[in-house]
């Protein structure tokens, strides 16, 4: 099943730049999740700080557990992710 995972910067920490070691650890963990097939795409958000991830998993619990391991989530720089289940768009199927 596919999901959209929205990651947002904690507004109280928006003016703080995480240390480079923490950012590098975040990049490494996201690459691991990509290599495992969980993360399909990553987009930086244009409306606010954070990211939008297209992910593949059997359920929301799997994603919640995986994204809780991100260093920026663990330190509170990013808020807990919003996980949105996706379903196919019916507008591309033939008309009845």
Mean pLDDT of the chain: 93
Which domains does the chain possess?
2-11+28-87 (3.30.70.1060)
Q: What is the mean pLDDT of residues 5-27?
A: 90
Q: Span 60-86, mean pLDDT?
A: 96
Q: Give residue-wise pLDDT tens across range 25-35.
A: 999 999 999 99
Predicted local distance difference test score (pLDDT) of residue 96: 66
DSSP collapsed to 3 states, the chain = CEEEEEEEECHHHCCCCCCHHHHHHHHHHHHHHHHCCCEEEEEECCCCCEEEEEEECCCHHHHHHHHCCCHHHHCCCECCCEEEECCCCHHHCCCC
Residue 38 to residue 63: CA distance in whole angstroms: 8
Condensed to tens digits (0 to 9), the pLDDT of residues 37-49 reads 999 999 999 887 8
């Amino acid at each position: 099943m596919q999901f959209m995972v929205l990651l947002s910067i904690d507004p109280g920490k928006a003016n703080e730049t995480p240390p480079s070691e923490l950012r590098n650890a975040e990049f490494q963990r996201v690459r691991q999740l990509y290599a495992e097939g969980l993360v399909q795409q990553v987009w930086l958000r244009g409306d606010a700080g954070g990211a939008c991830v297209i992910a593949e998993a059997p359920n929301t619990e799997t994603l919640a557990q995986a994204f809780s391991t991100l260093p920026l989530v663990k330190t509170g720089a990013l808020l807990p992710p919003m996980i949105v289940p996706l379903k196919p768009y019916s507008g591309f199927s033939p008309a009845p």
